[in-house]
A = this chain, B = another copy of it.
Amino acid sequence: MKNDTLLRALARQPTEHTPIWLMRQAGRYLPEYNATRARAGSFLRLAKTPALATEVTLQPLERFPLDAAILFSDILTIPDAMGLGLQFAEGEGPHFERPLRDERQIAALAAPDPTRELGYVLDAVRQIRHDLRERVPLIGFAGSPFTLACYMIEGSGSDDWRSVKTMRHSRPDLLQRILEVNARAVTDYLKAQVEAGIQVAMIFDTWGGILAHDDYESFSLAYVRPIVKALAVPTILFTKGGSPWLREMMASGATAIGLDWSTDARYARKLAAGRVALQGNLDPAALFAPEKSVRAAARAVLDAFGAEPGHIFNLGHGIAQNTPVETVAALVDEVRAYSSARAKNNIPG
């Protein structure tokens, strides 16, 4: 591979610079993405057409010297393949036509066969790997079993996830049944992505942070652990609002832990103690600032994580829709320049 910086950082080996990629790097802040999406007609059509998914996956790499590509897809492909009927209304978030509301539906829930029902994702992975021509590694991903359950039960995004939490408290057995099926489904799906060619697997536990402290272990992390264990590639586990459970996440078996922007990078680094890699954690809002401030913010993040191997630069959350493209260019440039200089001078972190 021409640039394997990400893989070496994940293995906590020294690198010439700190690798950088951005969550949602193939997205609406890029005019070329919007053009492809317009051609596709809808977000779902874009995600379900391997040639178009490949096109948008590669777009950010044409603009910026990023150290990884991430499969363009959506975490909700799994419940869609389970028959819940995924919809994206224009200008709104996702919703399901048939959310899980009764016991019979939940009893009937089954993990889809990814080679059949999610074949379009695997086709995209194969085409992206081909078109990437070993420039950088390809990251695949899935939602965590709990995060998928949130959408499957609620039927859409939510401020308080009332239905999910009510089920957790009144019928925990039903929630556990959903989580078991989801864990099976995510495992099968990510294994199939690995077979198709992804080189790193990321698990987005976007909503794990809404759980009560003692519930995170039993309703989210317990279902992530077997997935991570089953995969033959390095894994990155990201929980938004995961600060209260850093120690537990680090003991999950994941190769790297993704940190959101509120997490104390210095404390995380101390906890990790060189046993796990760390990814993050610039506030995506920092990109709405003059270039000089963005460069300073990038250096501050690099300083907080220190010069020891095992840091992957990223935002603490997906890049925002209206982020100026020039600012992203400045960020990527600064991370590369500052971390290369630091590595050359061998300044201890």
Contacts and interface: CB of A to CB of B under 8 A. Distances in A.
Interface stretch (A8-16, A118-126, A286-294, A335-343): A286-294
Interface in A178-214: 209-214
Contacts of A165: 283, 285-286, 288
A261 B213 contact: yes
Interface in A200-258: 209-216, 241, 243-244
A264 interface: yes
A293 B172 CA distance: 11
A262 B212 contact: yes
A265 B265 CA distance: 22
Interface residues of A, number: 40
A320 interface: yes
B169 A213 contact: no
A77 interface: no
A316 interface: yes
A98 interface: no
A261 B212 contact: yes
B213 A286 contact: no
Interface in A314-329: 316, 320, 322
A346 interface: no
Given A166-B289, A170-B290, 11 more contacts: A161-B285, A165-B285, A166-B285, A209-B262, A212-B316, A213-B261, A213-B262, A213-B263, A213-B304, A243-B244, A244-B262
